[in-house]
Amino acid sequence: MAGEVLKLRGVGVKRGGAELLSGVSWEVGEGERWVIAGPNGAGKTTLLQVAAALLHPSSGSVRVLGEELGRTDVFELRPRIGIASAAVAERVPAGETVLDLVLTASYAILGRWHEEYDSTDLGRAAALLEALGAGDLIRRRFDTLSEGERKRVQIARALMPDPELLLLDEPAAGLDLGGREDLVNRIAALADDPLAPTMVMVTHHVEEVPPGVTHALLLRKGGVVAQGKIDEVFAEEALSACFGLPLQIARQDGRWYARAAPRNGR
Ligand SMILES: Nc1ncnc2c1ncn2[C@@H]1O[C@H](COP(=O)(O)OP(=O)(O)OP(=O)(O)O)[C@@H](O)[C@H]1O
């Protein structure tokens, strides 16, 4: 395998008596593009939070970018990881501008204070927003943006610190069809870019998986159903077991489609 980016061994997470994850072992190599898929409540966000060094597991071991959680300063580790998630978006201070939201990612903080940013920082933030199709939003307040605009700005923020690991939690959730397709294309461009960081995205919908994703992990009830190369994992048997219903899967032009298997030939 290419250089190791994530290594989880027997990871469990318990909260309030509930087992959110159990026995999760998973390795991600440098340059790989992963999707974590599974039904509501499967533990996808929890797993991403562990990978982001935002959540410490109750059991097992986690190594992120060569650092063992529990034995490393997570405040030094976190700026090496870019994350876009609803949990981050919810904590954006009222009135924060798009530019400040992207800039503050350099310090892995939310809310501009008295930090200094130079023209290189400003140029990078502007270029990233431009690349995500959000260049004209730079002076806007984040809290006035549409859902689709917010998603693109969040990805620009996640990329700002030039992370070694990029984590996207349901990047297309809440988008209309045009917005979803636009975002899938933008993530596909990232996935294709050999200079882009190792990437892990979470989704419920196989239709949201961009071409260029190389690996998949299927989660159900906190446990791994299947993981490995996407062509092998996105098979009818494994996806049906993961989502708990018989599915038919199709692939066209690098995109995946799923529907419930017809009953009685209908
Ligand atoms: N603090 C908590 N205490 C108890 N249960 C929790 C807590 N936080 C999350 N859960 C439960 O853990 C399970 C996994 O949650 P998680 O958000 O990781 O799932 P998910 O796969 O991302 O779900 P979704 O697709 O619906 O976003 C859910 O059943 C959730 O209700």
Gap between the Cα atoms of 236 and 134, Å rounded: 37
pLDDT score recorded for residue 265: 57
Number of domains in the chain: 1
Distance 43 CA to ligand 1 centre (A): 6
Which residue has the CA at smallest separation from atom 10 of ligand 1? 20
Tokens describing residue 1: 């395998």
**From 14, 22, 36, 45, mutation site for ligand 1 pocket: most ligand atoms within 8 A of C-beta:** 45
Task: With CA atoms as reference, report the closest residue to 94 among 30, 144, 53, 28.
Answer: 144
Tokens describing residue 54: 């935002």
Cβ-based neighbour number of residue 64 at 10 Å = 25
Could you tell me the mean pLDDT of each successive run of 10 residues in the chain, 266 residues long? Answer: 90 94 98 97 96 96 96 91 89 92 84 79 94 94 92 93 95 88 92 94 95 97 97 96 95 94 73
Which residue has the CA at smallest separation from atom 3 of ligand 1? 15
Gap between the Cα atoms of 88 and 111, Å rounded: 11
Which residue has the CA at smallest separation from atom 1 of ligand 1? 15
pTM of the model: 0.92
Task: With CA atoms as reference, report the closest residue to 235 among 216, 252, 221.
Answer: 216
Q: Is 40 in the pocket of ligand 1 (CB under 6 A)?
A: yes
CATH code, domain with 137: 3.40.50.300
Gap between the Cα atoms of 5 and 31, Å rounded: 9
Q: Is 104 in the pocket of ligand 1 (CB under 6 A)?
A: no
Q: Is 16 in the pocket of ligand 1 (CB under 6 A)?
A: yes
Neighbouring residues of 124: CB distance < 8 A, sequence distance ≥ 6: 160
Gap between the Cα atoms of 262 and 196, Å rounded: 40
pLDDT score recorded for residue 112: 74
Q: Is 17 in the pocket of ligand 1 (CB under 6 A)?
A: no
CB contact at 8 A, 102 and 160: yes
Task: With CA atoms as reference, report the closest residue to 100 among 91, 109, 63, 21.
Answer: 109
Neighbouring residues of 136: CB distance < 8 A, sequence distance ≥ 6: none
Q: Is 13 in the pocket of ligand 1 (CB under 6 A)?
A: no
pLDDT score recorded for residue 97: 94
Note down the domain range covering 227: 4-265
Gap between the Cα atoms of 214 and 48, Å rounded: 18
